[in-house]
Amino acid sequence: MEKTLPPIPVKRYFTIGEVGELCGVKPHVLRYWEQEFTQLRPMKRRGNRRYYQHHEVLMIRRIRDLLYDQGFTISGARNKLQELVQGERDRRKAGVVPLEGMEAVEIDQEEFDAAIHQEEDKTSPVAESKAAARRVDPSQLLHLRRELFEIRELLTIGR
């Protein structure tokens, strides 16, 4: 009996009540999960009010999925979450970082070249842009990609 969760609105901070509604979990459960999952650390303000950021809402949804849908115990979910976090760190170090909500896709250089050359019409604007893409050094693209991921990481740290 899987309940579809509502989309997460574009906001900087969410109250515990809002997160409860977005994740299908009661606030007392969220407070308990904070004790069990060290990665879950909402900001606390006056009166010990909790304010969650977007990445924490996503983490809570992942925890909920592990516990409620996949049947993990708290300990098992904690270990699985740690594995997932470590896997993401390893992929970032390797320069493979998926955009939020999207899978990382690695493509072989030969496949990339074949896709560019496929059904090329010399007179079309698309063919001209494909030809320009072939002139770009793949190492430059890799370097640019890594720089963009570093910038993205700096921006997410500031959230």
Could you tell me if 92 and 119 lie in one domain? no
Q: Is 60 exposed, middle or buried (0-12, 13-18, 19+ CB in 10 A)?
A: buried
Query: Domain range spanning residue 112?
Result: 107-159
Degrees, nearest 5: CA angle 40-41-46? 145
Number of domains in the chain: 2
Q: By three-state DSSP, how is residue 44 classified?
A: strand
Could you tell me if 88 and 112 lie in one domain? no
Among the candidates 71, 89, 105, a domain finishes at 105
Could you tell me if 63 and 131 lie in one domain? no
Could you tell me if 90 and 111 lie in one domain? no
Alpha-carbon span 130 to 136, nearest angstrom: 10
Could you tell me if 117 and 88 lie in one domain? no
Could you tell me if 96 and 111 lie in one domain? no
Alpha-carbon span 2 to 53, nearest angstrom: 24
The CATH number covering residue 81 comes to 1.10.1660.10
pLDDT at 125: 59
Could you tell me if 8 and 80 lie in one domain? yes
Share of the chain above pLDDT 70, in %: 70
Among the candidates 86, 105, 124, a domain finishes at 105
Q: What's the pLDDT band for 1 if we cut at 50, 70, 90?
A: very low
Could you tell me if 97 and 139 lie in one domain? no
Alpha-carbon span 22 to 19, nearest angstrom: 5
Alpha-carbon span 69 to 47, nearest angstrom: 34
Could you tell me if 43 and 97 lie in one domain? yes
Query: pLDDT tens, 88-116?
Result: 888 878 776 555 544 445 555 666 566 55
pTM of the entire predicted model: 0.57
Could you tell me if 59 and 79 lie in one domain? yes
